[in-house]
Amino acid sequence: MSEFAYINDLAKKCAETDHIDASLYTKYDVKRGLRDADGKGVLTGLTEISSVHGTKEEMGSKEYCDGELRYRGIDIKDLVGGFVAENRFGFEEVIYLLLIGHLPNARELKAFSELLASYRTLPDGFVRDIIMRAPTADLMNLLARCVLTLYSYDTNANDISLPNVMAQCLHLISVLPMITIYSYHSYNHFIGGHSLVINMPNRSKSIAENILIMLRRDKKYTELEARLLDLSLILHAEHGGGNNSTFTNRVVTSSGTDTYSSMAASLCSLKGPRHGGANVKVVHMFADIMQGVSDWTNDDEVAAYLTRILNKEAFDRSGLIYGIGHAIYTKSDPRALIFKAHVKQLAIEKGRTEEFACGFYDWQYEWLKQDLAYVPKDKMVILCAHIPFRNGGAGDHSKSRYHTETLNLLAGFAEAHLMIGHSHYNENKIHTVNGKEIYEHIHGAVCGQFWRASFNADGTPQRLRHL
């Protein structure tokens, strides 16, 4: 018997011997991982750091509701809204908030950011001897290995007093982006056959900016790229105390082990395809959909292909649409809604509006053209839409689907106005088409007035300070 056949035989015997009747989990109320039998998430601990909600109590019963995520009691929408409105990087502030319990003032933020910057360095020879010595196709494995190896460079590695653990955690926060990017470049070089690039971080830049500096060969990035990356880091900074990797950290730290061991264990848990590794499945699924669907703007065609996936006829034939079916969120994920509201700008900047479906669908424009054909040219036309027209690539409406065509249609009438929502501030803009002025009125959402309404371009008074 060959070695392969022998091992297969051992595995088969193991499976037969250690089979446990699934009904026993219900009989003895034993959890199978971090899901109940009905698929809902299991509460495994208590935390004051963040809270996650996808249901609410109504008349003694649970009702589905829009998802809610709070960091230290602050709604993630309000938190992000402040950073975006004031056009500043917020991830460092969020780190402080999650660790300390309140947002830092200017003096506290300056001291904290300087400390993180000073920690942004790896031991001599670490990149060469640890990261490049044995690159792997899966970066999560290399990250875990690197974190464990940092134990060897720490003279107080086993000291689990709070001040020392705080210092260790801040150091890990600072160097993990470096380890991640350098691991990626190492993989590209030694396995992918590309030129090796190692860029040093800039102590004066934010974490988001430094990730792009280290990632790009020429160290170049746009302001929008950095802002959106910062936003992504904020949205993924914390997600309650019960997810798999956090639970793993709680279990491991309960033994009194060191910081590096517990963090490495969490990374190993995060790698799994049913946890953090699911994002890889989502990327592969989208690539498959783009191959299998000829017209991404055709809802019926997309729905038909998704049905094929559910019926195990397409993609990996698991019957799963990855990214759908969150254990907590029911109606909506606030992180996705926030990110989608901003990512359109990046699609415009990168010339990827076709994929984002920026602007109008074909059928929407055709309907509008047909409908306006019945309106006398001497009338005033008011068109209501969600996304501002002025987002069409710094005034270049050719980068947004049918923006130019729509404005040309409106220019044929005596007077035309665009009534727009979406934004969290008020703004008036005038489009001039063939000598005709078309007025775009962008109205700040009510919630936007609470987020930030202190810079309205149309002269709307600043928000009431007592709010």
Instruction: Report pLDDT for 171.
Output: 97
What is the pLDDT, as a whole number, of residue 164? Answer: 95
Measured between alpha carbons, how far is 147 from 179 in angstroms, rounded to an integer? 9
Pairing of strands 380-385, 74-75: unpaired
Tens digit of pLDDT for each residue in 397-413? 444 567 888 999 999 99
pLDDT number for residue 321: 87
The CA distance from 265 to 246, in Å, is: 10
Beta bridge partners of 41: 35
406 SS3 class: helix
Domains of the chain, by residue range, sit at 121-200+245-276, 280-349, 359-451
What is the model's pLDDT at position 448? 43
Sheet holding 380-385, edge to edge: 380-385, 415-420, 436-442, 427-433
- Decide: helix, strand or coil at residue 242: coil
Q: Contact at 8 Å (CB) between 130 and 236?
A: no
Report the pLDDT value the prediction gives residue 390, as an integer from 0 to 100. Answer: 63
Distances (CA, A) of 244 to 42, 47, 275: 10, 15, 7
CA proximity to 41, closest of 236, 247, 235, 237: 247
- Alpha-carbon distance 97 to 238, whole Å? 11
Low-confidence ranges of the chain (pLDDT < 50): 392-399, 447-457, 460-467
Q: Tell me which residue of 332, 329, 355 sits closest to 344, measured CA to CA.
A: 355
- What DSSP element (H or E) covers 440? strand 436-442
| 391: CB partners within 8 A, 6+ apart | 344, 345, 348, 400
Closest to 341 in 3D by CA, of 425, 406, 257? 425
pLDDT of residue 43: 64
- pTM for this model (two decimals): 0.74
